Structure 1
Amino acid sequence: MRSDHVRLFQTLPHSCGYFVGRTAQNLVIDPAAPQLDRLYGAALDHGFRRAGGHLYFPHCPNCHACTPCRIDVARFKPDRSQRRCLKRNADITVSERMAGYNSERHVLYSRYLRARHPGGGMDEAEASDFRRFLTAPWSPTVFLEMHLNGQLVGVAVTDVCNTGVSAVYTFYDPDEQDRGLGTFAILQQVELARRRGIPWVYLGFWIDGHPKMDYKKRFQPLQVRTTEGWTDLRR
């Protein structure tokens, strides 16, 4: 995937979602390109990520903190904490479902955002917000639904390409936060990749020293993408 094969656009500066007082910019693959579905796997390998119908990569002039990262599926083994998470959630049924909007998912999504991002502008999500952020007509998306006693308690929005699975977003019942459903979702995405013979699970971006990103280091071996390509991240 080279810039002479597909157009890249740069966004205007906007507030950084990770560092107060900083601005951010992204490179975005032309959202009108007719071959986005075919470009997606290569875009993941180049460090891009999907949000709604856009494939983007952080491109901030004065900051390079956001580092693409991915789990090596063949070499990954859950650590003690992750094994405890699997045991704690052994009563949850996980199933692959067609991506898309329904009222049950929307109610759970809205509850999650109100608990996780109160007053942040995301906590009053309409049906159109759900569709626009989590799905795209061209994306190979499945929803990994988590049910407890017949009740939907979590959804892992997961894009499945031939060479990589991308963990796009996970939302879950805020009353069940002690279960570690975010970690549980990633472990299920690793298992999905393993079942399908897909070598990588992409976790978006890792920021060294950022408390919101620290959990990603626990999925070893974790690879990060530098200017020299992908390499193992050492603890």
Structure 2
Amino acid sequence: MTQHSRDTPQFYLTAPSPCPYLPGRHERKVFTHLVGDKAGDLNDLLTHGGFRRSQSIAYRPACDQCRACVSVRVVANEFRPSRNLRKILARNSDVVGEQRSAVPTSEQYSVFRAYLDQRHRHGGMADMTVLDYAMMVEDSHVETRIIEYRRRAEGGGVAGRSEDLLAVALTDVLSDGLSMVYSFFEPSEETRSLGTFMILDHIARARRQGLPYVYLGYWIEGSKKMDYKGRFLPQQRLAPSGWLRVEAPGDAASEPQD
């Protein structure tokens, strides 16, 4: 019988299930566990290969006849916001992002619950309890942070404190970038475009930290849920030949990048 080291990741394949992004299609995923002392290094390696993290699991699509899910990362230092994106930044000039340890709070869950009920009431996460949310945040064996976005208190507040939690991002810190694992926002503040604002803020954070990329997960052409990720340019998209650069909307991916 073959012997496997405890440090050697074992990969598994899920059964087919309906695709949540493209009607009429089915998805399968390949996944492995991120545990132990090597979890951070493994998460780095797998993210570079198109995997995403969910709690202590790393997964990527492995569909039989579809390759629509394309891993995307923004080139942070070269990114320049479009006119529309600059308007979103201006609209949220009163919002402050505060980075914290990955510790769940009831305040976060309140926003999370409102977000699911308003925007994803029929999705796979719709029934998540406060304990499920705590597991989503805490069950990580890699370097993970929570970034809370709050409206700045009028008059500056006390000792720089802010108020009104508006949005939250759960983010992994990789060797070459920030990976946005999951984000959500107060649905009553929809006109702020907080989902887009959080991406813009992460690009700025990566630049300040000297990290070259912001990983956004999967871009899916033709999916309204995922198509927005194509707005953040220049970016790289993972193809069988490696990470390919995209300069402008509608561009074909160009030469492989290191």
Normalised by the size of structure 1, how large is the TM-score?
0.93
Structure 2 counterparts to residues 125-140 of structure 1, below 5 A = 125-140=128-143
Task: Give the superposition deviation at 1:48.
Answer: 0.7
Do the aligned partners of 2:177 and 2:215 also contact (CA within 8 Å) in 1?
A: yes
Query: Is 1:67–2:54 an aligned residue pair?
Result: no
String of CA shifts for 1:178-227, please: whole Å, max 9, x gaps: 00000100011111111111111000001112222221111000110000
Contact 1:70 1:201 in 2 (8 A): yes
Corresponding residue for residue 209 of structure 1? 222
After the TM superposition, which segments of 4 or more aligned residues of structure 1 sit over 4 Å from their partners?
31-34
Aligned twin of 2:149: 146
> What SS does the corresponding residue of 2:77 show, helix, strand or coil?
coil
1:102 equivalent to 2:115? Answer no
C-alpha root-mean-square deviation of aligned residues, in Å? Answer: 1.7
Counterpart AA for 2:125: M
**Who is 1:78 aligned against?**
81
50, 53, 57: which one pairs with 2:56?
Answer: 53
Shift of 1:127: 1.7
Q: What do the CA deviations read for 1:15-36 (whole angstroms, capped 9, x no partner)?
A: 2111223221111123456522
Letter of the 1:122 partner, please give it: M
Which residues of 2 match residues 1-235 of structure 1 at below 5 A? 5-32=8-35, 35-120=38-123, 122-148=125-151, 149=153, 150-233=163-246, 234-235=248-249
The 8 Å contact of residues 28 and 56 in structure 1, kept in 2 or not, is answered as yes
| Structure 2 runs not aligned, ≥5 long | 1-6, 154-162, 250-258
Shift of 1:12: 1.6
Give, as a single letter, the amino acid of the residue that structure 2 aligns with 1:196: Q
Shift of 1:157: 1.2
Contact 1:49 1:57 in 2 (8 A): yes
Change (3 A) 1:120 1:212: closer
Quote how far apart the aligned CAs of 1:109 are. Answer: 0.5
Q: Is the 8 A contact 1:6 1:33 kept in 2?
A: no
Alignment partner of 2:166: what SS?
strand
Asked if the contact 1:114/1:124 (under 8 Å) is kept, the reply is no
Task: Tell me the SS of whatever aligns to 1:74.
Answer: helix
Fraction of identical pairs, as percent: 36
The question of whether the paired residues in 2 share the 8 Å contact of 1:110 and 1:124 is answered with no
> Any conservation in 2 of the 1:113–1:123 contact (CA below 8 Å)?
yes
TM-score by length of 2: 0.85
Q: For residues 29-64 of structure 1, what are the alpha-carbon distances to aligned partners after superposition, in whole Å with 9 as ceiling and x for unaligned? A: 234565222211111111111112111110001111
SS in 2 for 1:128: helix
Deviations 1:65-123 (A, max 9, x none): 10111000121111111111111000111111111211111111101100011244533
The answer as to whether partners of 1:44 and 1:164 remain within 8 angstroms in 2 is: no
- Report the AA paired with residue 242 of structure 2: G
What amino acid sits opposite 2:222 in the alignment? G
Which runs of 5 or more residues in structure 1 are unaligned?
none
- Kindly tell me the number of residue pairs found equivalent between the two proteins: 232
